Amino acid sequence: MFKLLKRTLQRGPFTEPLAEETEASGIRRLTHRPPPWGRSMGLRTVDAGSCNGCELEIQALLNPVYDVERWGFRFTASPRHADVLLVTGPATVNMTEALQRAHDAAPNPKWVVAAGDCALHGGPFKESPACQGGIHAVLPVDVAIPGCPPTPEALCQGLLALLERDQKE
Amino acid sequence: MEPLTDDQAPPSPEPPPRLSDWLGAATPLVPGTPWPRHVLGEARWLDLRHHLFLSTWTLVDLWAEEKTVHVALLDDPAPEAGSPTTAILSLECPEGRYPSLARARVGAIRLERAIRDLSGLEADGAEDRRPWLNHGRFPLASKPPDADSDPDAPEAPYRFFAAEGEGVHQLSLGPVFGGVEASSQFLFHANGETVVRLEHRGGYLHRGIEGLMRGRTLREAATLAGRISGDSAVAYALAFAQAAERAVGVEAPPRGVWLRAVMAEMERIANHLGDLGAMLGEAGSALLQSHAAVLRERIARVAHRCFSHRLMMDRVVPGGVAADLHPDEMSLLQGMIREVRPHFEEIVSAYGRSASLLDRTLSTGVVTPALASLLGAGGVVGRSSGRAFDARVTPGYPPYDHVPMTVPPRDEGDVHTRLKIRALEIRASLNGLVLLLDNLPGGATRVELPPLAGEGAALVEGFRGEVWLWLRVDGGQVIACRARDPSWFHLPLLEQAVKETIVADFPLLLKSFNPSHAGCDL
How confident is the model over A88-134, as pLDDT tens digits?
999 998 899 899 999 999 999 999 999 999 999 988 998 888 888 89
Please list every residue in chain A whose beta carbon sits closer than 8 Å to the beta carbon of residue B354: 1
| Domain span at B396 | 211-514
Kindly state whether residue A110 falls inside one of the protein's structural domains.
yes
Return the half-sphere exposure (C-beta side, CA atoms, 13 A cut-off) of residue A159. 31
Please list every residue in chain B whose beta carbon sits closer than 8 Å to the beta carbon of residue A128: 207-209, 211-212
Per-residue confidence (pLDDT) for residue B14, from 0 to 100: 72
Domain end: B159, B175, B194, which one? Answer: B159
Contact B142, B119 (CB under 8 A): yes
Kindly state whether residue A124 falls inside one of the protein's structural domains.
yes
Closest CA to B289 of B373, B205, B241, B351: B351
Diameter of chain B by CA atoms?
A: 70
Kindly state whether residue B331 falls inside one of the protein's structural domains.
yes
Kindly state whether residue A18 falls inside one of the protein's structural domains.
no
Compare B506 and B24 and report the one with higher pLDDT.
B506
Domain count of the fold of chain B: 2
Residues B307 and B422 in one domain: yes
Per-residue confidence (pLDDT) for residue B155, from 0 to 100: 56
Contact: B233, A53; criterion CB under 8 Å: yes
Kindly state whether residue B191 falls inside one of the protein's structural domains.
no
Q: Least CB-CB distance to A95: which of B178, B205, B224?
A: B205
Q: Per-residue b/e over B337-365, b at no fewer than 16 CB within 10 Å?
A: beebbeebebbbebbeebeebeebbeebb
Please list every residue in chain B whose beta carbon sits closer than 8 Å to the beta carbon of residue A95: 175, 183, 204-205
Please list every residue in chain B whose beta carbon sits closer than 8 Å to the beta carbon of residue A58: 180
Query: Quick check: A47 contacting B, CB < 8 Å?
Result: yes
Kindly state whether residue B174 falls inside one of the protein's structural domains.
no
Average pLDDT of span A17-22? 83
Find residue B377's DSSP bridge partners: none
**Does residue B148 surpass a pLDDT of 70?**
no
Compare B224 and B17 and report the one with higher pLDDT.
B224
Which stretches of B214-253 are DSSP H helices? 218-225, 233-248
Confidence of residue B156 (pLDDT cuts 50, 70, 90): low
Which stretches of chain A are DSSP H helices? 2-11, 53-60, 96-105, 117-121, 152-163
Per-residue confidence (pLDDT) for residue B8, from 0 to 100: 55
Q: Least CB-CB distance to B350: which of A1, A98, A148?
A: A1
Residues B133 and B223 in one domain: no
- What is the Cα–Cα distance from B172 to B185, expressed in whole angstroms? 7
Task: State pLDDT tens for residues B370-383.
Answer: 999 888 898 999 99
H-run or E-run covering A93: none
Compare B232 and B1 and report the one with higher pLDDT.
B232
Please list every residue in chain A whose beta carbon sits closer than 8 Å to the beta carbon of residue B183: 46-49, 95, 98
Interface of B with A in 117-156 (CB under 8 A): 133, 135, 137-138, 140
Give phi and psi for B37, each to the nearest 5. -110, 125
Kindly state whether residue B40 falls inside one of the protein's structural domains.
yes
Q: Least CB-CB distance to B180: which of A8, A75, A148?
A: A75
Per-residue confidence (pLDDT) for residue B13, from 0 to 100: 61
Domain count of the fold of chain A: 1
Kindly state whether residue A12 falls inside one of the protein's structural domains.
no
**Does residue B16 surpass a pLDDT of 90?**
no
Kindly state whether residue B270 falls inside one of the protein's structural domains.
yes
Q: In CATH, what number is assigned to the domain containing residue B54?
A: 3.30.460.80
3-state DSSP: chain A helix, strand, coil percent, rounded to 5?
40, 15, 45
Kindly state whether residue B185 falls inside one of the protein's structural domains.
no
Domain end: B125, B159, B193, which one? Answer: B159
Residues B125 and B228 in one domain: no
Kindly state whether residue A108 falls inside one of the protein's structural domains.
yes
Residues B369 and B504 in one domain: yes
For chain B, what is the mean pLDDT? Answer: 88
Interface of B with A in 239-268 (CB under 8 A): none
Collapsing DSSP to helix, strand or coil, B309 comes out as coil
Q: In what order do the strands lie in the sheet with B185-191?
A: B168-173, B185-191, B194-201
Query: Quick check: A167 contacting B, CB < 8 Å?
Result: no
CB-based contacts of B261: which residues, under 8 Å, 6+ apart?
B399, B400, B403, B436
Q: Least CB-CB distance to B297: which of A5, A53, A63?
A: A63
Task: State pLDDT tens for residues B427-474.
Answer: 999 999 999 999 999 888 899 988 888 999 999 999 999 999 999 999
Contact: A4, B140; criterion CB under 8 Å: no
Type of residue numbered B195: V
Kindly state whether residue A11 falls inside one of the protein's structural domains.
no
Smallest CA–CA separation between A92 and chain B, in Å?
A: 6
Contact: A130, B138; criterion CB under 8 Å: yes
Residues B215 and B131 in one domain: no
Residues B261 and B146 in one domain: no
Kindly state whether residue B509 falls inside one of the protein's structural domains.
yes
CA torsion angle for B271, B269, B273, B494 (degrees, to 10)?
50
Task: State pLDDT tens for residues B384-405.
Answer: 999 989 999 888 898 998 888 8
Average pLDDT of span B61-73? 91
**Does residue B69 surpass a pLDDT of 60?**
yes
ipTM: 0.90
Kindly state whether residue B199 falls inside one of the protein's structural domains.
no
Please list every residue in chain A whose beta carbon sits closer than 8 Å to the beta carbon of residue B178: 77-78
Interface of B with A in 173-202 (CB under 8 A): 175-176, 178-183
Confidence of residue A169 (pLDDT cuts 50, 70, 90): very low
Residue B500's region, left for phi above 0, alpha for psi from -120 to 50, else beta, is left
**Does residue A17 surpass a pLDDT of 80?**
yes
Angle at B93 between CA B143 and CA B68, to 5 degrees: 75
Q: Least CB-CB distance to B297: which of A55, A60, A98?
A: A60
Q: Least CB-CB distance to B207: which of A44, A62, A125?
A: A125
Residues B28 and B152 in one domain: yes
Confidence of residue B149 (pLDDT cuts 50, 70, 90): very low
Using CA coordinates, name the residue in chain B closest to A80.
B178
Number of Cβ within 10 Å of residue B7's Cβ equals: 8
Per-residue confidence (pLDDT) for residue B147, from 0 to 100: 43
Q: In CATH, what number is assigned to the domain containing residue A98?
A: 3.40.50.12280
Per-residue confidence (pLDDT) for residue B145, from 0 to 100: 41
Contact: A1, B353; criterion CB under 8 Å: yes
| Lowest mean pLDDT, pick from A48-57, B32-41, B140-149, B218-227 | B140-149
Kindly state whether residue A2 falls inside one of the protein's structural domains.
no
Smallest CA–CA separation between A33 and chain B, in Å?
A: 25
Domain end: B117, B142, B159, which one? Answer: B159
Diameter of chain A by CA atoms?
A: 55
Kindly state whether residue A155 falls inside one of the protein's structural domains.
yes
Please list every residue in chain A whose beta carbon sits closer than 8 Å to the beta carbon of residue B517: 52
| Domain span at A58 | 25-163
Q: Least CB-CB distance to A64: which of B204, B293, B518?
A: B293
**Does residue A30 surpass a pLDDT of 80?**
yes
Per-residue confidence (pLDDT) for residue A1, from 0 to 100: 79
Q: Least CB-CB distance to B182: which of A55, A62, A94?
A: A55
Using CA coordinates, name the residue in chain A closest to B275.
A56
Task: State pLDDT tens for residues B247-306.
Answer: 998 999 999 999 999 999 999 999 999 999 999 999 999 999 999 999 999 999 999 999
**Does residue B41 surpass a pLDDT of 70?**
yes
